[in-house]
């Protein structure tokens, strides 16, 4: 889903994927001049391995410090895929403002998160082993399309620059906010 939301003209620039993990499949498969990842589980071996694959990975816990280690107006695209719901609401507001800060003018922030009300479905899917019960248990909050829009506005994105939609049969929300 995120791949389709990226403006083609942004691909000659820089992308940052927050919460990319140690096997960043999205970053590995997308086309960008510069690819950056940020994750709290990034260790030296993973950082070195990904560097060989053309991905610059930084170790950083966004809940411990919402201040992102990047210059103002540095990225063309920032993604946070299935991470939004794992961050404490207070930290998420600060992080969203930081994402706004590091995006270039006209840059795009793309996120995905489970749709509010899908907790019971996720519980059944985790019981069946189809999704990670550990990850479902780590959800700090749930969001509707309107509450995602509200969080983005709190972080500095203009209401008319925010688009949202549903995917995977309405179980998940996508949002794209342009700076």
Q: How crowded is the C-beta side of 21, counted as CA atoms within 13 Å?
A: 10
Nearest Cα to 157, choosing from 122, 116, 107? 107
pLDDT computed for residue 158 by the predictor: 98
Helices 145-154 and 89-102 cross at an angle (nearest 10°) of 60
- Collapsing DSSP to helix, strand or coil, 51 comes out as helix
Domain assignments of the chain as residue spans, ordered by start: 2-178
pLDDT computed for residue 136 by the predictor: 63
What is the rounded CA–CA span in Å between residue 16 and residue 160?
23
Mean pLDDT by 10 residues, the chain (179 residues): 90 96 90 95 89 94 92 98 91 96 98 86 77 69 93 98 94 96
What is the rounded CA–CA span in Å between residue 144 and residue 116?
5
Neighbours of 114 (CB within 10 A): 21
Which superfamily is assigned to 2-178 in CATH?
Vaccinia Virus protein VP39 (3.40.50.150)
Q: What is the pTM of this model?
A: 0.90
159 by Cβ neighbours in 10 Å (0-12 / 13-18 / 19+) ranks as exposed
Q: How crowded is the C-beta side of 162, counted as CA atoms within 13 Å?
A: 21
pLDDT computed for residue 170 by the predictor: 85
pLDDT computed for residue 137 by the predictor: 63
């Amino acid at each position: 889903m995120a791949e389709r939301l990226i403006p083609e003209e942004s691909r000659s620039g820089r992308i940052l994927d927050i919460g990319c993990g140690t096997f960043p499949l999205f970053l590995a498969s997308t086309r960008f001049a510069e690819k950056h990842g940020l994750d709290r589980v990034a260790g030296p071996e993973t950082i070195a391995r990904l560097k060989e694959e053309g991905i610059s990975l930084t170790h950083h816990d966004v809940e411990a410090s919402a201040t992102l280690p990047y210059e103002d107006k540095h990225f063309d695209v920032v993604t946070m895929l299935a991470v939004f719901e794992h961050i404490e609401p207070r930290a998420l507001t600060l992080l969203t403002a930081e994402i706004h800060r590091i995006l270039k003018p006209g840059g795009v922030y793309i996120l995905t998160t489970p749709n509010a009300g899908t907790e019971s479905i996720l519980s059944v899917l985790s019981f069946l082993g189809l999704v990670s019960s550990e990850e479902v248990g780590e959800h700090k909050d749930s969001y509707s399309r309107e509450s995602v829009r509200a969080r983005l506005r709190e972080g500095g994105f203009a209401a008319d620059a925010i688009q949202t939609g549903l995917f995977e049969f309405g179980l998940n929300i996508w949002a794209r906010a342009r700076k």
